[in-house]
Chains A and B, each alone.
Chain A
């Protein structure tokens, strides 16, 4: 059998305040899978994702990435393992006062001798890799601008380029589009999906919105109160499945709205504001509400 890209074995996380955020979670992800993790706020999505690169250390159980047991690593080993695990955050987590390029080069820190990076002396090959990474998310021309001069969507692309510069095998994304407007959110999700395909990147994405989850995921993991209550391919999932995961009816704020990308892309070009999203949202809202009665 093929070695799993990410493996959770009976993982439990109890925070020092006693709260159990993950309960005996076992999951196995294949290389190249694009997995979306859904669940209500507080269900443990962030905790799950952060156990992969050990930003959170499980209380018990094992997490392995590409056969390396993360839970058993010392400082040095952990840094070496993290070097190949990219991570994207809701708030981009860029150094706002630094240039875009320097932000992307941060993805090379664990691949180079520490002293070289501290002197700012990055090998040409690494600078080129950083520039290529920016090119792959379409913003190479921004390389020498300060990060805080970019729009939210552009900043998230810088963050994706930073992760790409790590030449990762695994990509983690914790609510990567929660701070973006619908069209930009869809573009960033498309970028993630495309890069995952091109690089055979195992990708774990936390999402709030069930329509986005359905649109982009190969496989969906549903969490409720720290337990896996759903795990399966996205095909054939219905609102009912999500209602089971959420343990309540689907509400309009669970949907981001599938802004028609081709329409909005073109609209941006000729200055016409077109989006089918609000209508679609309202319709589905009414359906949900009438279904509730």
Chain B
């Protein structure tokens, strides 16, 4: 009987992961002891937020509703606009559709660049430019959505069946016709799935965009936290949780129906 080779690769990988874990725990001060102390404190905090500690001020609901709606609108609009922009841009960010290698390299480079900027940093910069309010938040999420959807779409296009594209080229079709007739129908389900995925992230990010003054529910959350208004904070968190959960589960359900 031949012996299976020693699985040294698996052991090396496990060792590396362990080393990284130890190293990063040291840097962040994470330890089991800190965890054991932190959990009760967290529970105590939750206690303060709950309506059993002090009844929630129901007259605060209309403002929460308005701000949450703003958050939802920001994330929906950003998803639609960002995903729409992805479609034409993917023409330069994918090898089979780009006019030449130079355009492709430039397109990919730009894409990678905008994807390295963290959302909140981006929102912060945009607030500096456009002032406080939902507009900079919207712009930040448009850019984020655009980056994610274009990247995923470009990667998908490079794995798609090239046969139909060749057939259309052979019949004298242009680059744009190749994209619209041969590629887009093949990637349509993926495109919708990626857009929904971006929406799920957008709703979460939009909820905290207010931290940098970029509108939405985060803005009043941040204010109430700073003023130690625990009941209000509790209400905001509960309402946000419900809305995010609803959008998230609907979107995941839709995605599971695709492909």
Interface extent on B, as a size class?
A: 20 to 34
Q: Does A145 contact B (CB under 8 A)?
A: no
Contacts of B173 in A (CB 8 A): 79, 106, 109-110
State A82–B27 Cα separation when bound (angstroms).
64
- The one of A91, A98, A118, A162 in contact with B171, judged by C-beta atoms closer than 8 angstroms, is A162
Pick from B168, B169, B188: contact of A97, CB under 8 Å:
B188
A79 touches B186 (CB 8 A): no
Q: How far is the CB of B110 from chain A (nearest CB, A)?
A: 25
Query: Across the interface, which residues of B come within 8 angstroms of A95, CB to CB?
Result: 164, 181-182, 185-186
Within 8 A of B (CB), among A62-84: 78-83
Q: Nearest Cβ in chain B — how far from A5, in angstroms?
A: 17
Select which of A83, A93, A96, A118 is within 8 A of B176 by beta carbon: A118
Q: Is the interface of B mostly helix, strand, loop or mixed?
A: helix
Cβ–Cβ contact A106 & B176, under 8 A = no
B78-99 toward A: CB 8 Å interface, digit per residue (1/0)? 0000000000000000000000
Closest CB in chain A relative to B88 CB, distance in Å: 12
By size class, the interface of chain A is 20 to 34
The answer to whether A101 has its CB under 8 Å from any CB of chain B is: no
A96 to B163, CA, bound (A): 11
Are B186's CB and A107's CB within 8 A? no
- Of A83, A118, A163, the most chain B CB neighbours within 10 A belong to A118
Whether A98 contacts B170 in the complex (CB less than 8 A), given A118-B176, A118-B180, comes out as: no
A91-B163, A109-B181, A118-B176 in contact; A53/B170 too (CB < 8 A)?
yes
Q: Which residue of B lies closest to A146 (CB)?
A: B185
Which residue on chain A has the smallest CB distance to residue B179? Answer: A118
Q: Is the beta-carbon distance between A86 and B182 smaller than 8 angstroms? A: no
Q: Which residues of chain B are within 8 angstroms of A93 by Cβ–Cβ distance?
A: 163-164, 166-167
- B177 in contact (CB, < 8 A): yes
- Asked whether any CB of chain B lies closer than 8 Å to the CB of A238, the reply is no
**Distance of A241 Cα from B103 Cα, bound (Å):** 51
A250→B7 CA distance, assembly (Å): 49
B40 contacts A by Cβ under 8 Å? no
Give the Cβ gap from B189 to chain A, nearest Cβ, in Å.
8
The verdict on A89 contacting B172 (CB below 8 Å), with A98-B185, A106-B181, A118-B177 known, is no
List the A side residues contacting B168 at CB < 8 Å: 106, 109
> How many angstroms between the C-alpha atoms of A94 and B170 in the bound complex?
13
6 closest A-B pairs by beta carbon, nearest first, are A110-B172, A82-B172, A93-B163, A93-B167, A83-B172, A79-B172
